[in-house]
């Protein structure tokens, strides 16, 4: 599942040229009692939050539940949102807390779905597609073997394309610390992926 990263388009005009309310305007309305406006925010951002949860947990069913929980918390804790900050980082913070709560309660390593990964190539041959599918599955499995904090750093920086400063804000740490996490996570991911490839070939 993917969504357009251009929030200005989403919050500016729709395809018919009609002005759309911004996230801030919608959250302000929610805080003032217009609870139905949360539905618009859900439609606008649930795919991105699902992608994050899915890459963190590796489970479609679990991720769908976590997305629902994240938006329920957004509604429950709506008064904690401040208009001087962006909505999406605040929502990500809720989503990551939901994921960490899941890991804490389940006390188990995430398991990757058996569903095929999203198609990323154009017009591949059957053999090329089979090889690429296997590689993607191995990479996803390798990502899920990383410690949660390192996995999160990679998901946010390499898949969600968040800046180091944004990630630092979410993790409540410094930009330097985030860079170290990403560097170490990339190194460990390469090592784990290499080990998995060797195991598959042996």
Give the count of domains, the chain. 2
Using alpha carbons, list the distances in angstroms from residue 52 to 19, 86, 93: 28, 18, 11
pLDDT digits (tens, 9 = 90+) for 102-153: 988 876 544 444 444 443 334 445 555 555 566 667 777 888 888 888 898 8
In a shared domain, residues 86 and 52: yes
Contact 45, 1 (CB under 8 A): no
Q: Which residue has the higher pLDDT, 116 or 155?
A: 155
pTM check: above 0.75: no
Q: How many CB atoms lie within 10 A of CB 25?
A: 14
Q: Which residue has the higher pLDDT, 159 or 2?
A: 159
Q: How many CB atoms lie within 10 A of CB 57?
A: 25
Average pLDDT over residues 85-104: 90
φ and ψ at residue 19, rounded to 5 degrees: -65, 135
What is the rounded distance in angstroms from the CA atom of residue 113 to the CA atom of residue 75? 29
In a shared domain, residues 51 and 17: yes
Question: Is the per-residue pLDDT at 4 higher than 90?
Answer: no
What is the rounded distance in angstroms from the CA atom of residue 144 to the CA atom of residue 151? 7
In a shared domain, residues 183 and 199: yes
In a shared domain, residues 141 and 174: yes
**Tokens, residue 163:** 């800046």
Q: Tokens 């947990």 label which residue?
A: 57
In a shared domain, residues 97 and 151: no
What local confidence, expressed as pLDDT, does residue 23 receive? 94
Average pLDDT over residues 175-184: 91
């Amino acid at each position: 599942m993917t969504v357009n990263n251009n929030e200005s388009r989403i919050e500016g005009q729709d395809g018919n040229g009609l002005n759309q309310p911004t996230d801030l305007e919608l959250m302000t309305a929610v805080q003032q009692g217009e609870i139905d406006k949360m539905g618009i925010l859900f439609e606008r951002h649930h795919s991105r939050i699902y992608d994050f949860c899915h890459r963190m947990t590796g489970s479609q069913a679990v991720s769908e539940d976590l997305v629902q929980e994240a938006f329920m918390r957004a509604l429950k804790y709506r008064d904690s949102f401040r208009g001087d900050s962006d909505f999406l980082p605040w929502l990500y913070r809720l989503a990551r807390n939901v994921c960490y709560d899941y890991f804490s309660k389940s006390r188990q390593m995430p398991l990757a779905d058996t569903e095929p990964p999203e198609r990323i190539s154009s017009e591949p041959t059957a053999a090329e597609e089979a090889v690429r599918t296997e590689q993607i599955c191995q990479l996803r499995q390798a990502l899920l073997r990383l410690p949660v904090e390192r996995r999160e750093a990679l998901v946010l920086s390499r898949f969600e394309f968040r800046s180091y400063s944004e990630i630092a804000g979410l993790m409540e740490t410094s930009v330097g610390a985030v860079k170290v996490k990403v560097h170490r996570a990339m190194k460990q991911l390469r090592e784990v992926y290499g080990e998995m490839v060797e195991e598959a070939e042996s």
